[in-house]
């Protein structure tokens, strides 16, 4: 079986980081399922239409103190959470559409550190 080429431009790592999504006056508090320097994947309790712009708050852990990142994100994919018995749960992919370069670097560094920890050594 041939593997499909990876379409993502940035490496992604499974990680459960605190994440708050805000649209209009509604806040959705959740955790990431995975993250990259270009976006995050999470589960939320409500349907949010693709191409919806959200305010994103994310906490990236570090040895000294966590980095609090705020940016805009765009919902690029929404899927019902089929394995969850609740019909009102959705898996959502969010593209970070307006993220400061320094914050993108913080996320990329975190992802690289996690990849080094979780990858098998040769």
pLDDT in tens, 24-46: 989 999 999 999 999 999 999 99
Q: How many residues does the chain have?
A: 122
Q: Does domain 12-115 have CATH number 2.40.10.220?
A: yes
Which parts of the chain register pLDDT below 70?
A: 1-8, 83-87, 118-122
Assign 50 to helix, strand or coil: coil
* Alpha helix segments (H runs only) across the chain: 101-118
Global pTM reads 0.84
Return d(Cα 61, Cα 16) in angstroms, integer: 11
Contact status, residue 55 vs residue 72, Cβ threshold 8 Å: yes
Assign 116 to helix, strand or coil: helix
Return d(Cα 21, Cα 57) in angstroms, integer: 7
What's residue 6's pLDDT? 46
What's residue 9's pLDDT? 73
Give the residue extent of every domain in the chain.
Answer: 12-115
Bridge partner list, 32: 42
């Amino acid at each position: 079986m041939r593997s499909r080429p990876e379409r993502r431009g940035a490496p992604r790592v499974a990680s459960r980081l605190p994440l708050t999504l805000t649209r209009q006056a509604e806040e959705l508090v959740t955790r990431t399922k995975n993250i990259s320097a270009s976006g995050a994947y999470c589960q939320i309790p409500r349907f949010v239409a693709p191409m919806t712009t959200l305010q994103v708050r994310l906490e990236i852990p570090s040895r000294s103190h966590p980095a609090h990142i705020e940016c805009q994100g765009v919902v690029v994919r929404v899927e019902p959470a089929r394995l969850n018995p609740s019909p009102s749960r959705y898996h959502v992919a969010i593209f970070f559409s307006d993220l400061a370069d320094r914050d993108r670097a913080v996320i990329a560094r975190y992802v690289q550190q996690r990849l080094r920890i979780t990858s098998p050594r040769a």
